[in-house]
Copies of this chain bind each other. A is one copy, B any other.
Amino acid sequence: MRLFSLSISDLSSKYPLLANLRRSPLHVFRRNPSPMDGAEASLRTALTEKQTAVDAKADTVRDLKARGVAGAELDSAVEELKALKLEATEIGHRLQSAISSNDGGGDGAVSREAFRQAAVNTLERRLFYIPSFKIYRGVAGLYDYGPPGCAVKSNVLAFWRQHFVLEENMLEVDCPCVTPEVVLKASGHVDKFTDLMVKDEKTGTCYRADHLLKDFCKEKLEKDLSLTAEKAAELKHVLAILDDLSSEQLGAKLKEYGINAPDTKNPLSDPYPFNLMFQTSIGPSGLSPGYMRPETAQGIFVNFKDLYYYNGNKLPFAAAQIGQAFRNEISPRQGLLRVREFTLAEIEHFVDPDDKSHPKYKEVADLEFLMFPREEQMTGKPAKKICLSEAVSKGTVNNQTLGYFIGRVYLFLTRLGIDKERLRFRQHLPNEMAHYAADCWDAEIECSYGWIECVGIADRSAYDLRAHTEKSGVPLVAHEKFSEPREVEKLIIAPVKKELGLAFKGSQKMVVEALEAMSETEAMEIKGALESKGEVEFNVCTLGKAVKITKNMVSISKEKKKEHQRVFTPSVIEPSFGIGRIIYCLFEHSFYMRPSKGGDEQLNVFSFPPLVAPIKCTVFPLVQNQQYEEVAKSISKGLTAAGISHKIDITGTSIGKRYARTDELGVPLAITVDSITSVTIRERDSKDQIRVSIDEVASVVKEVTDGQSTWADVQWRYPAHSATASGESSHQNEI
């Protein structure tokens, strides 16, 4: 999969090689920055002018003083200077707020930051996740899921398996993380899976080159009000094209701006590529290099032949894998969003390239949700609600199967509890996609860090299977037997390697590949030109230039043949899920604060749907006595029998505090034992309570947490219970 790192391995891309383009979740803002706001630009100009006026007036004052002039003339000049300075300050303030609002920053940024802090504090305090190896001061980019986080993760994965693997009859596999070099050489990761790095020339500390440039530009834009409008525009442009910069260009910019190591101010080395795979050695000899897989997809591709056979030699079929993947980030940031080890869930759906229809497409065709097609992005328009069937029929989405998966991903994410309004499907721009990709859409979720790429859904055509076919020599192909032999006209392109070798030396291979990759139309055009003129200009994208091809270098013809079957490399459509990112966004979308009953404190709540809630329900005896505890235990038995994860809390803490603790873990329902015949059930978000007899309680909880009924359904059937007796309180921080 290419999640967060498209276009590794596109050696022969028709587009510029953008090795790191997709590695930043914020790239959308960067790639399509709002053009500098008119107000900001004119304020910058006004400020520059005003500052010039201030300087001129200050010169005048100094001049007057030097000449010994005093009295009214000097006083008036000083007053004018003061007035100009005040005006400049005032323009400065207006500029500052214009910058903040353009940035989506300002008050919004402050409150987003505060919201994130509150959520993250709760998440870490309640052990949803914590930095790994904390007692040894941790390792950047490695996190543990504690008990509630681990339960949420396991619920998300169980639902993923249900929603995709079981409902679609996918072939799930489970491959090792340790991967020999040859596999990742074939996939392109060994050569191309890199980030550009610079080193502090004295201390050796490493930095991501693009991060330093980005931080410099952002800080300048935000804090340096003396920046001219032109300079500001230039920095904004740099931010926009940051991901497209070559190693040399990036190095030149760092030099031009005089950027040094942030910690020491020492000079920096030139940028150079750092491979993001964790390297190791397989076996004791030290002669078999291996890597920790950077994605799970390759395990599926190398097994294609066996899986196709397992599926009765029939297409289409999908294989799936859930597992750990590893990326040795240079400097991980943003908590769970950019980590060195993470869980991926990937699907490789293999189809006949000539038929990308999907039998279940109509089940999702009527869905309507936020989409952000290429067109809208390039013309500066916002994402908009589109009906999936319209997007597919108009060709905005390349084909039915791709559309089907976009719809299924939408259903998956919203059922988990992702807010529909903060979820969009963004199409890759032409220069973001590998040359072989037919189309590519990311499910992006908005959180306090911006729009985060959480699922990538790409039609990767036949690229991966071809790469492994070539490297391994094992044909990873499908067969379609014809009911009777067919006469077909086949295009034969036969490069004459000897002639090409003489003409192009080291570049021969690239020319040969480009010739062989021609479409029928292209080939026939070239053939015509060669026949009429004897030579032709031919564009070789991997060389980045056109070369002159003469008649003796290639023979192009069409032959008629009888064929009994069609042999072809299937296309693959790949939905790839970053599970940790989805979970983090889910945490943010579920988190809110509400005042305690006394109003003196803000209480934290996670409004997880029952499907993902770490525990479905808690059982609280209202006061500590043996009778109530017996009842609580018998209810617990009933819940266990019904397969409902729950917890009994028999501490003497006030019921209000116990509710508050449980809300903070996102537990949907709480059963309070306040009699020996019936109990109350409280719903987390409404805080409403109903009274239910002890015999029925397990089945009511099951109904709601299994999703057969809503809370509103059961609330209607049972008497309401007034909450006054059991004051909602606070003190979450105590535990």
Question: Which A residues are closer than 8 A to B by beta carbons?
Answer: 126-127, 130, 132-136, 139-140, 142-147, 149-151, 153-154, 161, 166-167, 169, 171-180, 182-183, 197, 204-206, 274, 278-285, 287-288, 290, 292, 299, 302-303, 305-307, 309-310, 312, 324, 326, 328-330, 340-341, 468, 471-472, 474, 476, 640, 645, 647, 651, 735
Contact = CB atoms under 8 A, between A and B. Distances in A.
A651 B312 CA distance: 10
A312 B735 contact: yes
Contacts of A206: 283-285
A133 B183 contact: yes
Contacts of A178: 139, 142, 278, 292, 326, 340-341
Nearest to A299: B144
The 5 closest A-B pairs by CB, nearest first: A145-B174, A135-B472, A206-B284, A135-B474, A147-B171
Contacts of A150: 172-174
A477 B734 CA distance: 20
Contacts of A173: 144-147, 150
Given A150-B172, A284-B206, A130 B278 contact: no
A301 to B, nearest CB: 9
Given A133-B302, A151-B172, A324-B324, A285 B144 contact: no
A278 B281 contact: yes
Given A133-B302, A146-B171, A309-B735, 14 more contacts: A126-B310, A127-B310, A130-B303, A133-B183, A135-B474, A135-B476, A139-B178, A147-B307, A149-B174, A150-B173, A166-B645, A177-B292, A178-B292, A284-B328
A549 to B, nearest CB: 35
B283 A280 contact: no
A147 B165 CA distance: 10
Nearest to A207: B284
A647 to B, nearest CB: 7
A144 B179 CA distance: 12
B144 A303 contact: yes
Among A274, A283, A288, A468, find the residue whose CB has the most chain B CB atoms closer than 10 A: A283
B468 A135 contact: yes
11 contacts: A133-B180, A134-B303, A134-B306, A135-B476, A143-B176, A145-B173, A146-B310, A149-B174, A154-B172, A274-B284, A309-B735
A326 to B, nearest CB: 7
A306 B161 contact: no
Contact of A282 (B169, B299, B328): B328
Given A144-B299, A146-B306, A284 B341 contact: no
Contacts of A651: 312
Interface of A is mostly: mixed
B341 A306 contact: no
A279 B349 CA distance: 35
Contacts of A136: 180, 182-183, 302, 471-472
Nearest to A274: B284
B133 A205 contact: no
Contacts of A278: 178, 280-282, 290
Given A144-B299, A303-B144, A176 B283 contact: no
A298 to B, nearest CB: 9
Contact of A139 (B153, B180, B471): B180
A667 to B, nearest CB: 14
Contacts of A306: 127, 130, 134, 146
A153 B134 contact: no
B180 A285 contact: no
B180 A177 contact: no
A132 B178 CA distance: 10
A310 B147 contact: yes
Contact of A174 (B153, B175, B274, B302): B153
B144 A174 contact: yes
Contacts of A153: 174
Contacts of A204: 285, 287
A25 B195 CA distance: 44
Contact of A175 (B144, B182, B197, B309): B144
Nearest to A329: B283
A324 to B, nearest CB: 6
Nearest to A130: B306
Contacts of A280: 278-280, 292
Contacts of A177: 177, 292, 324, 326, 341
A324 B343 CA distance: 12
